[in-house]
Amino acid sequence: MAQLRSFLKVHRSVLLGTVAVLFAAAGAGTWSYGQQHGFSSWSVFPCMPFFSEELPQISMLNPPAFAPNRNLLVSYAASDCSCVKEVSLRITPHNPLPGANNASVNIPLPVRGERKIARTDAQNLTFQPWWGQKVTLQIVATNDAGKSGTTEAVDLTFPERQFYHPIARVLIQEREKLMQHPDDGVLREEAANIMASIAHQPSNYRGDPVVLLALRGGAVRLILQKDREAAISVNDLLWRAATRIEDAFARAS
């Protein structure tokens, strides 16, 4: 018994801190064990992630801008009383097109889970089909409790991407037609024939199997599926095939 009293006397601060944390998890505001037991009152850490009703705070430090290499630069500061667990870039097309996927897209940004963050991220969005379009940007911060805060919305026009490879240009032209008129049967058949024709000439795209599958799959989809959703999915395939051909051409130049 004497050894137990000695252990409690030496380690009471550690034990008390452990109990305080348990009370915090139970939702207690303050906790006191009682002076008769030799302990003074302790206040529970006031900001636990599962009880805080506060939303994460986040703001843009500088307006979003494009770097010379076409990467999108976003600067922001975020904070939360518990932990900023996730940060994402939300992009929403400003002018919806009939043949485009106009849903908002959330792109995760790299974070390590901290209470305060201030950083600049460069995002390579060349695979996204927004070039030449106006979009709305927001940065979203989410804490451990799943609550989210957002920055003010900022409008930004993606610069027009230039295509120099002749096959990539043809694919982009067909995509632009389908985006404006996804239900036009003549344009759909034209796009399907062009995609199938290019697919049968591997030298046009260095035999890239990803491009081959995109072109064949897109052509078949346009012929067999007559709904607008098929045209929207093919527009995505056209963009990815064209950018892949263009990027390979640029690396070889």
Is 170 found in the same domain as 153? no
Q: pLDDT band at residue 44, thresholds of 50, 70 and 90? A: very low
- Widest CA span in the chain: 94
Instruction: Name the strand (E) or helix (H) holding 155.
Output: strand 154-157
Contact present, 60 and 139 (Cβ < 8 Å): yes
pLDDT surpassing 50 at residue 109: yes
Instruction: Name the strand (E) or helix (H) holding 12.
Output: helix 2-26
Going by C-alpha positions, the residue among 56, 62, 55, 57 that lies closest to residue 154 is 62
Strands 30-31 and 42-43 come out as: antiparallel
Residue 88 covered by a domain: yes
Is 198 found in the same domain as 223? yes
DSSP 152: P
pLDDT at 87: 94
Is 114 found in the same domain as 72? yes
Q: What is the pLDDT of residues 123-158, one digit of tens each?
A: 988 777 788 888 999 999 999 889 999 999 999 998
Residue 232 covered by a domain: yes
Residue 13 covered by a domain: yes
Q: Tell me the mean pLDDT in the region 30-59.
A: 52
Which residues does residue 76 pair with via DSSP β-bridges, in sequence order? 60, 119
DSSP 146: S
Structural Rg of the chain based on CA atoms:
28
Instruction: Name the strand (E) or helix (H) holding 231.
Output: helix 228-252
Is 16 found in the same domain as 37? yes
pLDDT surpassing 90 at residue 94: no
Q: Where are the beta strands (DSSP E) in 25-133?
A: 30-31, 42-43, 57-66, 72-93, 105-109, 114-123
Contact present, 179 and 237 (Cβ < 8 Å): no
Residue 28 covered by a domain: yes
Opening angle at CA 144, ends 139 and 148, nearest 5: 30
Structure-model confidence comparison of residues 37 and 97, the more confident one: 97
Can you tell me the distance from the alpha carbon of 67 to that of 209, in angstroms, rounded to the nearest whole number? Answer: 31
Q: Give CA 98 to chain center in angstroms.
A: 24
pLDDT at 52: 61
Strands 134-143 and 72-93 come out as: antiparallel
pLDDT at 2: 54
Residue 128 covered by a domain: yes
Contact present, 75 and 119 (Cβ < 8 Å): yes
Q: Tell me the mean pLDDT in the region 184-206.
A: 95
**Structural domain of 109:** 57-157
Count how many domains the chain has: 3
Classify 102 as helix, strand or coil.
coil
Residue 69 covered by a domain: yes
